[in-house]
Amino acid sequence: MAATKNILALWSFNWLTLAKSKPPYLLLPSTGWDDFYNTGRGYIQSRFRAKDMIYAEAEYRFGIAGNGLLGGVVFGNVQSFSKNLATQLAVLAPGFGAGLRVKLNKFSNTNLCIDYGFGTNGSRGVFLNLGEVF
């Protein structure tokens, strides 16, 4: 029996500030402002910004072509931000979508990621990445 190459991947990105601290506005956590600009697929970069951010995402990766050249993913995420730059988390923004993975290098497992994501209030878009999203 061959081993499956399907993967359930989970990640979380959390950014909390101290109660009395007042970081500059442009240093506050925001959608898509992690190191690789991957949080919040389904929303434009900086759609949400606040003093505190909690983010979680799940992605199911599966093969389409038997040789590993083409794969697919389905994903869902949720992000919560404090309301009006206060300390209480209030905004809850879910996102979901699907995508294709095209293998560029089988030795380093480098993929071209092409995802289409949806968010609330009609938010949607195409998200590209080199390597896996996480």
Record the pTM: 0.88
At 2 the pLDDT is 61
pLDDT attached to residue 60: 98
Q: What is the pLDDT of residue 1?
A: 55
Is the model's pLDDT at 106 over the cut of 90? no
- Yes or no: say if 98 and 58 are a contact pair by the CB < 8 Å rule: no
3-state class of 70 per DSSP? strand
What mean pLDDT do residues 42-62 have?
Answer: 93
Q: Give the 3-state secondary structure of residue 42.
A: coil
Contact yes or no for 99/75 (Cβ under 8 A): yes
The residues spanned by each domain of the chain are 7-17+25-130
Longest CA pairwise span in the chain (Å): 58
* pLDDT at position 86: 53
Alpha helices, DSSP H, located in 7-131: none
Which of 134, 39, 131 minimizes the C-alpha distance to 93? 39
**pLDDT value at 19 more than 90:** no
Residue 101 confidence class, pLDDT cut points 50, 70, 90 = very high
**So what's the pLDDT on residue 132?**
82
How far are the Cα atoms of 38, 70, 118, 128, 131 from residue 102, in angstroms, in the given order?
18, 5, 21, 11, 10
pLDDT attached to residue 54: 93
Q: What is the pLDDT of residues 29-48, one digit of tens each?
A: 999 988 888 899 999 999 99
- Residue 63 banded pLDDT, cuts 50, 70, 90: very high
The torsion region of residue 106 among left (phi > 0), alpha (psi -120 to 50) and beta comes to alpha
- pLDDT of 78 > 70? The answer is yes
Cβ–Cβ contacts within 10 Å for residue 85, how many?
14
